[in-house]
Amino acid sequence: MTLGVELEGHVGPLRLRAAFDTTRGTVVLTGPNGAGKTSVLRMILGAVTPERGRVRLNGATLFDSERDVNVPLEERAIGYVPQNYGLFPHLSAAGNVEFALACRRPALSREERHGRALDLLGELGLANLVAHRPHALSAGERQRVALARALASEPKALLLDEPFAALDVGTRRKLRVFLRERLERLSLPTVVVSHDAEDARAVGHHIAVVEDGSVVQAGSWGELARAPATEFVRELTLERERAP
């Protein structure tokens, strides 16, 4: 189960170049704001079409510019949790999860869908919030609903954009542990975008540093610390060492 990415394209004036794969576990895309991390995620997702490159997931080709393959977004089966969690504001927490179930499992009855949604939300500790609309949930709760919804769609890979950015310190610490355990148990190919060194360290061991649209260095923390390719990478590894 791996996701392999090799992409080139433009987003506005920014030229994007990214190549990495998840053979060594969850990949954390990190780098300064505006470096193009989210755009890389959206290209993997299929919401933005790259100019050149390949995206392969578990042996299947999702995108290949040379062979003219471009699997549409709705058929890629990639779970995506954006930075603001992207919950449907007109649906309850359960409704959001049921939406995903209805897409993937059209044969299920309404009651079965509801039952499964309650199970999934219960598993993530949201049993008493299933009827709440997103605006009535805290940021941490919204994130877990978004995760439950993504998992309900039976994804073959997960893309998480800044999963901790909107959280306060306490929630952040709890969710780091929660997310790492979840991801380990799911063993899905996962790409996490995070600009924060400590968050990045908490969820993944394989780091890809994006600067000005390009992956400037990829490797484990140790590899990055031993031979930082840029000033940003050097500071990132120092910051990581200083972290408790």
Partner 1 sequence: MSARLVRGARRPWHAVLGALGGALILFLVLPVVGLLSGTTLADVRAGLEHPLVAPALELSFFTTTVSAAVVILFGTPLAWIIAERRGGGARLLESALKLPVVLPPAVAGLGLLLAFGRTSVLGALFARLGVGVPFTSAAVVLAQVFVSAPFYVEAAIAAFRRLDADLLVIARSLGAGTARVLFRVALPLAAPGLLSGVALAWARALGEFGATLMFAGSLSGRTQTLPLAIYAALESDVRAARALSLVLVCIAFVLLFAVRSSERVHGPGPGARP
The site for partner 1 (CB under 8 A) is made up of: 42, 45-47, 72-80, 82, 84, 86, 88-90, 99-100, 102-104, 133-139, 149-150, 152-153
In whole angstroms, the minimum distance from the beta carbon of 148 to partner 1 comes to 12
58 or 220: CB nearest partner 1: 58
Least distance CB 100 / partner 1 (angstroms): 4
| Residues 6+ away with beta carbon under 8 Å from 173 | none
* Choice between 13 and 89, CB closer to partner 1: 89
CB of 55 to partner 1, least distance (A): 14
Least distance between partner 1 and beta carbon 158 (Å):
11
Residue number, 166 or 225, with CB nearest to partner 1 = 166
Q: Identify which of residues 77 and 229 has a Cβ nearer to partner 1 in the complex.
A: 77
Of the two residues 130 and 200, which places its CB atom closer to partner 1 in the complex?
130
State in angstroms the smallest separation of the CB of 66 from partner 1: 25
Place of tokens 């089966």: 77
Residue pair 202/221 in contact (Cβ under 8 Å)? The answer is no
